[in-house]
Structure 1
Amino acid sequence: MASREFKDHYREQRIFFNRTIVAGLVVLLMLLSLAARYYYLQVVQHDVFSTLSDRNRMQLQPITPTRGLIYDRNGVLLADNQPTFSLTIVRERVKDMEETLAFLSDLIEIAPEDIESFEKRLHQRRRPYESVTLKTRLNEDEIAKVAVNRHLLAGVEVEADLIRYYPQGEDFAHMLGYVGRISEQELKKVDPANYSGTQYYGKLGVEGHYEELLHGQAGFQTVETDVRGRVLRVLEKVAPTPGADISLNIDTELQKVAVKALDGRKGAVVAIDPKTGGILALVSTPSFDPNLFVTGIDSKTYKELQNSPAIPLFNRALRGQYPPGSTIKPFVGVAGLDTEKVNTGTTVWDPGYYQLKGDERKYRDWKRQGHGWVDLKAAIAQSCDVFFYDLGYRMGVDSMQQYLAQFGFGQLTAYDIDNARDGILPSREWKRGVKGLPWFPGDSINMSIGQGYMLTTPLQLATGMAVLANRGHWVAPRLIKTINEVEVTDVPSPPDMQLHQEWYWDYVIKAMEEVMHGRHGTARGSGRGAEYRMAGKTGTAQVIGIKQGERYDADAIAEEYRDHGLFIGFAPVNNPKIALAVVVENGGGGSSAAAPVARKVFDAYLVGESTKLQAAK
């Protein structure tokens, strides 16, 4: 009876019912929370997670445009694109970069320079999931080793690529320039979208100046990838626009003739078509192989080029600044005639030296015994220093500077050439500002024969020669001829040079013709036997000063201190087709060192051209 009093079925049922209600409410609440979370994820956040999912399986990849090709005036290929295979890595797909690089280094040969360059590019500005090249020019054995171990190399791919190749090698290095790995600084200057995926950038020369044209417009594609990041299919594609093909005024055969004529000596040759301003040859020797720089030159080879006493990386044609020596005399002669400081009847006695009144210093003529009585024509033909000493003294620096500037000296006049130096065309203001001294009469005397403070580049000498050949008509020098086979004609040029009498041009040109073909011409040896008439002027530029009373002895001094040999000229005289300048560093006299080089270039262009035409007929 007592146990029954303690058992309350109603109370137990009520407790059970309450607990069931609570448990049901908890379960219901949990189900509602789960449903709410499900709704939030599937409905509210649908777009977000859909996008994240797509990012895992779809990637937007840039498509690098094919770089434009470069040809010479005759269609000879100067800059090509060669197919190659490169080893690339996508950083976002690699779990441990150090471990991956170590594994790859054990698998195939990877130079420390490649790894260092890779790490630099890895931290440059780039798009997510954009591959970075570790090594280029993989051979078949290396490709096979990577393929066999592909399952162990997440984020590592072997990609087909096009790299720049220069078939003409050293002969065109200074003129063409080269492409190299794009740097962080260069990336900041360009459109990041257009250069997505681009590995190479034009560094110098034509490649640098026409980078925007040659590069083209990048394309893009949306691809679907697997869990390893490998492409399964292309979903959408915007094709890239290839870079423009350009042709230059350069004549490949003429360029090679000029290189061969210099015969390994330090120097430069610049040849211009006076009618169009087209640069036919632009040579600087010694040179280097531009292909070494395309995918990255190794430090040992680069140091050898940098430390070479011949300075092969230095572009003498554009950046070499030399005293013009006697090559300046025709230009000074034009100025003398137009300022009426001399005329065709003016003669000067040359005893072998020139002396100012009240000055003990003697300005020596290159011919120790002198030339006797000479007029302007004879002074140019025989390169009489004393005549020009006298003319320079009477003209003064102001007139000389004014006229020489009109020939392009002391300034940059080329249309599409970068990194050229503008030389020095001294004036009173220049000397006061640079030297802190006034201009002296002796400075004018030195300037009249291209010595003293005046410096010119081979490009400037050839430009001035083209203006003189055109009798004052200016056409700015340029490398470009066509862009995608469309002729480039709108090239701005300085104003033409106007003289008081047109026959002054003919008089000076006739004197230059005497240099090559006259009985006493300084370059008569190089003019002998030519099938055409040419006008020219030799020059010898001192590298070191010679004391009063001493004689220059080339054998007694080191080669690097010997005189430079120079030559300027054009041909044919009556219908100029080519004007040029030659500089042979430490080569000695212009008549012995530079004029023979010019003759070979003239023959190659004029005689060789006529031979081709006859063969074609």
Structure 2
Amino acid sequence: MAVLKNIQRELSRFRLRLVAAAGFVLFCFGLLVARLIYLQVMQHEALQDRAEANRITVVPIVPNRGLIKDRNGVVLASNYSAYTLEITPTKVTDLDATIEDLGKVIEIQARDKRRFKRLLEESKNFESLPIRTKLSDAEVARFTAQRFRFPGVEIKARLFRSYPFGEIGSHLLGYIGRINTAEKKAMDDWEEEDVANYRGTEYIGKLGLEQQYERELHGVTGFEQMETSAAGRAVRRLAHRPPTPGNTLNLSIDIKLQALVEQLYGERRGALVAIDPRNGEVLAFVSKPTFDPNLFVDGIDIDNWRDLNENIDKPLLNRALRGTYPPGSTFKPYMAMAALNTGKRDPHLVIQDNLTYSFGGRNFGSAEGDRAGPKDMRLAIVTSSNVYFYSLAVEMGVDLIHDQLMPFGFGRKTDIDLQGEVTGDLPSTEWKKKKFKRPEQQKWFPGETVSLGIGQGYNNFTILQLATAVSTLSTGGLRFKPRLVRDIEDVVHHEDRRVASDALDPLPLRPSDVAIIHNAMNGVTLEGTSRAVFAGAPYQSGGKTGTAQAVGLKAGQTYSSIKADERKRDHALYIAFAPLDHPTIAVALIVENAGFGGAAAAPIARRVMDYVLTGTYPSEEDIAKTQLGLTSAPIGPPRRAEDVPLPGQAASAPAAAASAASAASAPASGASR
């Protein structure tokens, strides 16, 4: 009996365990069914979308960047395709070892590694980054044969920006470069559509017109919707939208004139802006020294960056846009115009110029070579009398000077189509209060007004401001916003959209007053400080030389004591317009630390106006001597501008023969001092 009871008890326990096991299996099976129902029914659409996303890849197609052309259709910025070797860091186990092994297949220099390291620091680690750019066909073939050894490394075809004229016009063109972290962060504030347009894009305009007209030049990104296999290989294309290339910028710049001016400066520093006063179109926009924008396209290496950034001549500084200088005597015609406009001085009033002006117990002198004697307004401008304009400044006062000259564009931005323009300084009592923090510095002293009359003191302006001011003066008050881009060509619809130029309200200048100033500025070129430079010119022009102190003199210091330091010598300036009656060009320029404006700056202006008005190009001898500041009127037989090849291009045989014949038949002329 006891044995039977034990057996029954064991069977009862077994049945209980069996039921428990069956219940557990059923419970698990129920969970599985519930999960399947949840996935198949509740999550059907979401999982289907995810599966499609895994199967379908959307690949952005970067558009061709728009071209930049000069006024004659010469291409200044274009694109070309080249192969790059790129690494996706997240797909590489040992980055340093991979780069080392790659160097055994394709040449990778130390600067390539440094650039890659910098890009790696600036970019997100899942991005594809170039370790080598512009691979040759042989290098592409060598890597392709051993690609299996390098997971995460691939060859890509990329579009590269090209600036065929190198350093010429670099400050106005600017350059493009890889989008950095700060720019990516700024994109967070963009509209979603704009952000989407930059997917797949790694480059953006960094400076100059490339930056200003980025939206126009970039184009619209296209895409390919590709079906991929489980291994990630493309199977077929499901959808396609081609990219829309960027628009073309047609500039007002004449690149041959731009190149001529940069050549005339030689190794000297300075800036020049030439404007068509009839519409504000900029014909030349020069800042010297220049730089090669091609260095920045695929990431500038540290050695070139150091050379540019630490160069004492500051080649990266856009002197025409951001450099500010005292205008010196080029300020005097505007002072005279203000005196006429306000009735502060009759043009026939004669002031005795004894070469010294005393005010507040201090003597203000004149430049070496000035002649004493009685001078009216015209003669004061022609001979560049300091005493005449010292006294005029005191009579007018700083605030009246400010109010009369600001409408010419002094002390405010011109709104040219470039970013980074500075305002300069046109002083007033209110300006000084804002400029300085300490109360004792904020008060305007009467003695500070004296030097304003000759363009010194607190006066500081850009060459662009001087150019717009002389443009306004030349037309008798017509004003335009200066523009580098004439029109934008829509390459898809083949339509041109006019950009230049916005007319501003004209200044209410009396024609009789304007005629007085024009006559005086014409006298500068006929009998004044630039007469030797414009001797024999086939047109009449108006001009004014300027010689401005680069540094102020300390108490007891003489100017001769600082002449030994080249960078402390006076700046040479010149403003001009021509033809006299109906101006089609206005020019302002500076040659830093070059001394007298009539000797260093005016000769460059003469050759610019010869080019624009007569279609002539200076001789090689003339260019060489002008670079050294050793010319006045042009020397040697001039050439026809149309016969001179663009920089880097050879002259055609007919043009070369015609130039040689012209040189053989033309009479020689000596330099006029």
- Is the shorter-chain TM-score for this pair beyond 0.5, marking a shared fold? yes
CA offset at residue 160 of structure 1? 1.0
Instruction: Decide which moves more: 210-219 or 507-516.
Output: 210-219
The answer (yes or no) to whether the contact 2:485–2:499 under 8 Å persists in 1 is no
Instruction: Decide which moves more: 267-276 or 36-45.
Output: 36-45
- After superposition, the Cα gap between the structure-2 partners of 1:184 and 1:27, relative to the gap in structure 1 and judged at 3 Å, is closer
Q: Is 1:510 matched up with 2:519?
A: yes
Q: Is 1:322 matched up with 2:325?
A: yes
Q: Is 1:140 matched up with 2:126?
A: no
AA matched with 1:514: G
CA offset at residue 282 of structure 1? 0.6
The aligned residue for residue 11 of structure 1 is: none
Distance 2:235 2:38 in 1: 32
The answer (yes or no) to whether the contact 2:611–2:641 under 8 Å persists in 1 is no
| 5+ residue gaps, structure 1 | 1-5, 7-15
AA matched with 1:539: G
SS in 2 for 1:271: strand
AA matched with 2:479: W
| From 309, 312, 315, the counterpart of 2:312 | 309
Which protein is bigger by CA-based radius of gyration?
1
The answer (yes or no) to whether the contact 1:178–1:293 under 8 Å persists in 2 is yes
| From 594, 598, 603, the counterpart of 1:587 | 594
The aligned residue for residue 77 of structure 2 is: 79
The aligned residue for residue 658 of structure 2 is: none
- After superposition, the Cα gap between the structure-2 partners of 1:96 and 1:341, relative to the gap in structure 1 and judged at 3 Å, is same
Q: Is 1:495 matched up with 2:505?
A: yes
| From 203, 207, 210, the counterpart of 1:204 | 207
SS in 2 for 1:160: strand
Deviations 1:495-528 (A, max 9, x none): 21113x321001101100011122xx10001110
Q: Is 1:170 matched up with 2:145?
A: no
Distance 1:486 1:443 in 2: 51
Distance 1:362 1:32 in 2: 107
Aligned counterparts, 1:348-497, within 5 A: 348-356=351-359, 359-367=360-368, 370-435=371-436, 436-484=441-489, 486-489=496-499, 491-497=501-507
Instruction: Decide which moves more: 98-107 or 256-265.
Output: 98-107
Taking only the aligned residue pairs, the percentage that are identical comes to 41
Distance 2:160 2:424 in 1: 36
Q: CA RMSD in A?
A: 3.3
AA matched with 1:486: D
AA matched with 1:371: A
- After superposition, the Cα gap between the structure-2 partners of 1:307 and 1:90, relative to the gap in structure 1 and judged at 3 Å, is closer
SS in 2 for 1:597: helix
- After superposition, the Cα gap between the structure-2 partners of 1:95 and 1:307, relative to the gap in structure 1 and judged at 3 Å, is closer
SS in 2 for 1:529: coil
The answer (yes or no) to whether the contact 2:280–2:500 under 8 Å persists in 1 is no
CA offset at residue 146 of structure 1? 2.0
Q: Is 1:214 matched up with 2:211?
A: no
CA offset at residue 120 of structure 1? 2.9
Distance 1:26 1:114 in 2: 63
SS in 2 for 1:525: coil
- After superposition, the Cα gap between the structure-2 partners of 1:434 and 1:340, relative to the gap in structure 1 and judged at 3 Å, is same
The aligned residue for residue 67 of structure 1 is: 65
Name the TM-score, length of structure 1 as normaliser: 0.89
SS in 1 for 2:601: helix
Q: Is 1:558 matched up with 2:587?
A: no
Distance 1:412 1:232 in 2: 57
- After superposition, the Cα gap between the structure-2 partners of 1:240 and 1:396, relative to the gap in structure 1 and judged at 3 Å, is same
Distance 1:574 1:156 in 2: 67
- After superposition, the Cα gap between the structure-2 partners of 1:315 and 1:43, relative to the gap in structure 1 and judged at 3 Å, is same
Deviations 1:95-115 (A, max 9, x none): 665654454344431622232
Distance 2:486 2:23 in 1: 87
The answer (yes or no) to whether the contact 1:114–1:135 under 8 Å persists in 2 is no
Aligned counterparts, 1:567-606, within 5 A: 567-606=574-613
Distance 1:187 1:271 in 2: 37
| From 279, 282, 292, the counterpart of 1:279 | 282
Deviations 1:230-271 (A, max 9, x none): 434322112222211111111111101111111220011110
Distance 2:314 2:36 in 1: 73
Deviations 1:303-350 (A, max 9, x none): 111111111111111111111000000000100111112223111111
Distance 2:455 2:434 in 1: 21
CA offset at residue 549 of structure 1? 8.4
The answer (yes or no) to whether the contact 1:409–1:425 under 8 Å persists in 2 is yes
The aligned residue for residue 542 of structure 1 is: 549
CA offset at residue 88 of structure 1? 2.8
- After superposition, the Cα gap between the structure-2 partners of 1:36 and 1:238, relative to the gap in structure 1 and judged at 3 Å, is same
SS in 2 for 1:533: coil
AA matched with 2:303: K
Q: Is 1:344 matched up with 2:341?
A: no
SS in 2 for 1:169: coil
AA matched with 2:213: Y
| From 334, 337, 340, the counterpart of 1:331 | 334
Distance 1:258 1:92 in 2: 50
The answer (yes or no) to whether the contact 1:564–1:584 under 8 Å persists in 2 is yes
The answer (yes or no) to whether the contact 1:257–1:604 under 8 Å persists in 2 is no
The answer (yes or no) to whether the contact 1:155–1:229 under 8 Å persists in 2 is no
CA offset at residue 552 of structure 1? 3.5
Distance 2:204 2:273 in 1: 26
SS in 1 for 2:575: strand
